[in-house]
Chains A and B, each alone.
Chain A
Amino acid sequence: MLTITLLVSALLSYFSFVYITKLPSLFPSFKGFFNTPGFSERLTGFLWSFVLLDLPVFASVFFGSPAISSEIETRTAFYVFPLPIPRYILLLSKYFAAVSVTIIVIMIYILVQGFVFYSIFHGIIIQAYFISMGLTILFIFSIVALTFLISTIFNKNTYAYISVFLLYFLIFNAYTIISDVLYKVVPYYLLNNSATIIERVYLNLSTGFGNSSASPYGAGTSDIISSSLVMLVYIVVSLAGALILFERKEVK
């Protein structure tokens, strides 16, 4: 996971340093926005943050998906379950461990982003950068919680891995497209849609099928709050579900 993060960081650093002066020709549809002060910085921030919508998902699946299912699959449950440890402590310890390691890996990318910004623009868009960082951390908490919920359902790691990917990248996206095309509504309550706030704090772009919009500025406070609330709900509901399932988990 660390290798992937470093690789993606290197690729985007290369892109940023080489193509920063060619942004207007690369994005002709935004031509009018380039006169807006700070737009290039915002667009670069948006492009870097695009990766932050997927990288935490891979990291959390890598670190979180096998957390519970592996206890059953590798039979370590027979060592841990008969010990007098409350199961909620086991689950929450593993959860915070998975969140911590995911944050550490993703922070490498975010810090590289900050360094590149500072080198190119001799400064970073302080507010947007830190808000995006905070939202990424919140997103990590919520996606890891979701992977834990799925991990408690299954007794095999493979099923847990596949289910998270299917749910996040297939079902959530399919539902978003259907809702967008048929009802012209982007379901903000899906985690993948609320996570877009990580990039939209730089540029409030919406590229849906039904209603696309563009703004040379970042998303407003109400947008940030509503997306954060959705992510918080995912954390609470997923962890509560995982705790209930884990408390009743049996090893047959």
Chain B
Amino acid sequence: MPEIEITDLTKNFGKIKALSSFNLKIDKPECVSILGPNGAGKTTLLKALTNIIKPSSGSVAINGITVSENPMKALQYVGSLVEQPEFYPYLTGREIIEFAARVKGASKSRIKDEMEYLVELLSMSDYINRKTGTYSRGMKQRVCLGVALVMKPEILILDEPTFGLDPRGMKEVRDLINNLRLQKSSIILMSTHLISEAKEVSDRIIIVDRGRKIYDTTNEDNRNILKITLEEPIDKNLNLNANEQVSIKILGDQAILAEMHGGISHSTALRLLVNAGLKIKWIEPYNDIEAKYLESVST
């Protein structure tokens, strides 16, 4: 079973503390998104996981192997895309991905199979044999994903994987991550600025700010909360928390949050609320992550 364990990770760049006693454990195949503003420490965290930087203190372990002590062994399990890398302009996209496969110990026949699979998966057939010096940012990003995905790593580390892609490309990458997530065979740890992207593809979302983890939640929890806008102000005499299956939190005069318990469906919950006397105008999934993000991260 793939595993990432980050213990008390601190990284200083001079006087700047990029990460401060950061702890994280992922011990089952799932997609974990790291959300945070610019300079929060998201990329620094991923760099520490991929041996691009060394921790000032603390440790990062992949499948029980400490990255800074035995990077070659630890990185065998990792496919990564960190900070939109550039490639040697005189090599083709195919050579770039094949090199990554070769250093991971792939045989010639395996490399051929992997290339066929990745070219098809990432729609790179038009340019994969061209030198990367002629690529657009989006093409390079797809080759980066090819490098990350080659040899089907147990742990996939993606730093803003949809960066530089057009809307179609962004959707394809999200679908790809979702497919990998549903296969339940690898850990996907990705950073993103986009809350919607994190919510769409993640099992777990972590918000970081100023090098610290400030919120860690499973995405599933948030699907059980609805934000409800009412037609008229709430009657304060209503006993809204009488039902154990739906708990209510008042957001304002005409808005409430309804959290469902015991696995009841949205329609059942709404029926209960209507029966309690609420006049519902509008329903939307509650963006807990967005609220938490805006509430907790520094401006």
Contacts and interface: CB of A to CB of B under 8 A. Distances in A.
Interface of A: 74-79, 81-86, 248, 250-252
B84 A251 contact: no
B112 to A, nearest CB: 20
Contacts of A79: 85-87, 96, 144, 147
B204 to A, nearest CB: 23
17 contacts: A75-B86, A77-B52, A77-B85, A78-B85, A78-B86, A79-B144, A79-B147, A81-B50, A82-B51, A82-B75, A82-B78, A82-B80, A82-B157, A83-B104, A250-B47, A250-B52, A252-B53
A82 B85 CA distance: 11
B232 interface: no
B67 to A, nearest CB: 10
Given A84-B76, A85-B103, A250 B53 contact: yes
Contacts of A84: 71-73, 75-76, 103-104
B54 interface: yes
B83 interface: yes
A67 to B, nearest CB: 12
B82 interface: yes
Contacts of A86: 72
Contacts of A252: 13, 53
B83 A78 contact: yes
B117 interface: no
Interface in B23-80: 47, 50-54, 71-73, 75-76, 78, 80
B60 to A, nearest CB: 13
B195 to A, nearest CB: 25
Interface residues of B, number: 28
Nearest to B147: A79
A43 to B, nearest CB: 44
Contacts of A75: 83-86
Nearest to A251: B52
A79 B82 CA distance: 8
Contacts of A82: 50-52, 75, 78, 80, 82, 157
A76 B88 contact: yes
A101 to B, nearest CB: 14
Most-contacted residue by chain A among B52, B75, B78 (CB, 10 A)? B52
Contacts of B96: 79
Contact of A248 (B54, B76, B86, B103): B54
A249 to B, nearest CB: 9
B170 interface: no
Contact of B87 (A76, A81, A251): A76
A-B pairs with the 5 shortest C-beta distances?
A78-B85, A82-B50, A79-B85, A84-B75, A75-B86
Contacts of A76: 85-88
B44 to A, nearest CB: 9
A232 to B, nearest CB: 30
Nearest to B74: A84
A51 B149 CA distance: 51
Nearest to B85: A78
A78 B75 contact: no
A85 B96 CA distance: 14
A16 B174 CA distance: 70
B100 interface: yes
A85 B13 CA distance: 25
Given A86-B72, A251-B47, A81 B86 contact: no
A83 B54 contact: no
A79 to B, nearest CB: 4
A118 B104 CA distance: 52
A80 to B, nearest CB: 8
Nearest to B72: A84
Contacts of A85: 72, 103
Interface string B100-130: 1001100000000000000000000000000
Given A84-B72, A251-B47, A252-B53, A78 B84 contact: yes
Contacts of A250: 47, 52-54
A251 B82 CA distance: 11
A121 to B, nearest CB: 43
B129 to A, nearest CB: 18
Nearest to B48: A250
